[in-house]
Amino acid sequence: MPLESRPNIIVFFTDQQRWDTVGCYGNPMGLTPNLDGLAAQGVRFENAFSCQPICTPARACIQTGKFGTETGVFRNRIPLAKDEKTIAHYLKDAGYETGYIGKWHLAITRDRPVPAELRGGYEYWLAADALEFSSNPYAGVLYDSDNRAVRFEKYRVDALADFAVDYLRTRTREQPFLLYLSFLEPHHQNDRNRFVAPDGYAERLTELWVPGDLIPGTGDWEESLADYYGMCRRIDENFGRVLAELDHLGLRDETLVIFTTDHGCHFKTRNDEYKRSCHEASIRIPLVMQGPGFRGGKVRTQLVSLIDLAPTLLDVAGLPVPGYMHGHSVLPLANDEPVDWPDAVLIQVSETEVGRAIRTRRWKYGVVAPDKDGWNDSGSEVYVPKYLYDLEADPVEKVNLIDNPAYQGVCGRLAAKLQQKMAEAGEGAPEIVKR
């Protein structure tokens, strides 16, 4: 593919955003008109999932196309190795300008600058490793390519969008670009232990639509949901600003825009924090793409994963996909090409437990290693079944069928499928023993 025909790529990346906050995925509150409009022009992936519902591992999977058990980044506070080749390395070698703005979370320097060798190959740099520690919702600091502090004093989402717009306006190079714009919101603010919407936004949302998996009296969603939705609304407004700037600069037709997130949020209803589980609230995510190769207002129902993003970006740029990458480019799906697409996605989970799950169109089957430590052990040779959900009959996962005698045949088939997927991910096929 000639270099001039390769599209620009913007990855608009949020943190901890449930798929059902988005209108085109069914949320009735009108929070995301700009993203809904993009989906009407592009391709929406109805069944998109995180492959590791924790911040650092999910980011490592996207950047490398490899699962956390291969990169070694199976939990937070493990840096991505300097010698791991990322999407930025591949695209830079192919002539792309590569830029990163926002939260990185792959160097584990927390609020300190990220050394150049830990930036994953990105050239233009305006980021902080753990943005939640270098900033608060209305002020903070990022670091530029020379590790000079760049301070902001406005709502954090607005500030990052400002920086992205400025990047687009001041580019002087002629080659295509990859801009990875990584927000913290709608993640909770760690030092406040709560979600912080822009001033006045939560107060406007007087009638809240409540997802079916959130049960009154459990978790902290009742005091958090209005702020969470307000954060999603402001994200969408700034998404619209970035799109408008692309239009203003005449770049929209030659730019692939991707909107997605690292994982969802269950509001402490499944364990004592916000994600780190294999339930739909944690793993199901929005994924919308619009631009060259992704047009027409299409909806694709195949099961796709964050592990598919790296192969997709390389494919869009006209580059071969390395055989070691586990995902598949979604470009053929978007263009109605015949493709033998996998019928299940693999989810790894750590920290709260050493667990694995597969998600098929109908079933969610998960296992756990009870004798392993979720912080210190990346995997296990032996697992026991933990849950089985029939997502057709029980989409909000309230009825665990794992001990129901009538479903043991289903469990056996799914256990074999899970072992196969784990082997494909380089883990080997573990033993799954009955409880």
Q: Number of folded domains in the chain?
A: 2
DSSP string, 272-338: SSSS-S-SHHHHEE-EEEEBTTB-SSEEEEEEEEGGGHHHHHHHHTT-PPPTT--S--SHHHHTT--
Domain match, 262 and 358 both:
no
Domain edge (last residue) among 300, 334, 368: 334
Q: Are residues 311 and 412 in the same domain?
A: no
Same domain, 288 and 391: no
Pairing of strands 255-261, 287-290: antiparallel
Residue-range definition of the domain harbouring residue 284 = 3-334
Percentages (nearest 5) of helix, strand, coil residues in the chain: 30, 20, 45
Do 89 and 200 sit in the same domain of this protein?
yes
Measured distance CA(235)–CA(352) in Å, rounded: 29
3-state secondary structure 198-228: CCCHHHHCCCCCCCCCCCCCCCCHHHHHHHH
Tens digit of pLDDT per residue, the chain (435 long)? 444 479 999 999 999 999 999 999 999 999 999 999 999 999 999 999 999 999 999 999 999 999 999 999 999 999 999 999 999 999 999 999 999 999 999 999 999 999 999 999 999 999 999 999 999 999 999 999 999 999 999 999 999 999 999 999 999 888 999 999 999 999 999 888 899 999 999 999 989 999 999 999 999 999 999 999 999 999 999 999 999 999 999 999 999 999 999 999 999 999 988 899 999 999 999 999 999 999 999 999 999 999 999 999 999 999 999 999 999 999 999 999 999 999 999 999 999 999 999 999 999 999 999 999 999 999 999 999 999 999 999 999 999 999 999 999 999 999 999 999 999 999 989 999 986
Identify whether 221 is part of a domain.
yes
- Helix, strand, or coil (residue 372): coil
* 399 and 370 inside one domain: yes
**91 and 190, same structural domain?**
yes
Q: Which of 334, 368, 391 is the last residue of a domain?
A: 334
> Exposure pattern of 246-284 as b/e (b: 16+ CB <10 Å)?
beeeebbeebbbbbbbbbbbbbebbbeebbbbbbbbbbb
pLDDT reported for residue 2? 45
Whether residue 368 sits in one domain with residue 263: no
Residue among 342, 140, 171 nearest 250 (CA): 171
Whether 40 is covered by a domain: the verdict is yes
> Does residue 358 sit in the same domain as residue 240?
no
Instruction: Indicate whether 325 and 381 sit together in one domain.
Output: no
Same domain, 165 and 299: yes
What pLDDT is recorded for position 172? 82
Res 3: pLDDT: 41
- Token pair, residue 149, equals 């502090």
Instruction: Identify the pLDDT of residue 259.
Output: 98
- Nearest partner of 65 among 425, 433, 428, judged by Cα: 425
**In whole angstroms, how large is the CA radius of gyration of the chain?**
21
Tell me: do 106 and 233 sit in the same domain.
yes
CATH of the domain at 393: 3.30.1120.10
Do 195 and 240 reside in the same domain of the chain?
yes
pTM of the predicted structure, to 2 decimals: 0.97
Q: φ and ψ at 246, to 5 degrees? A: -60, -45
Residue 346 belongs to some domain of the structure: no
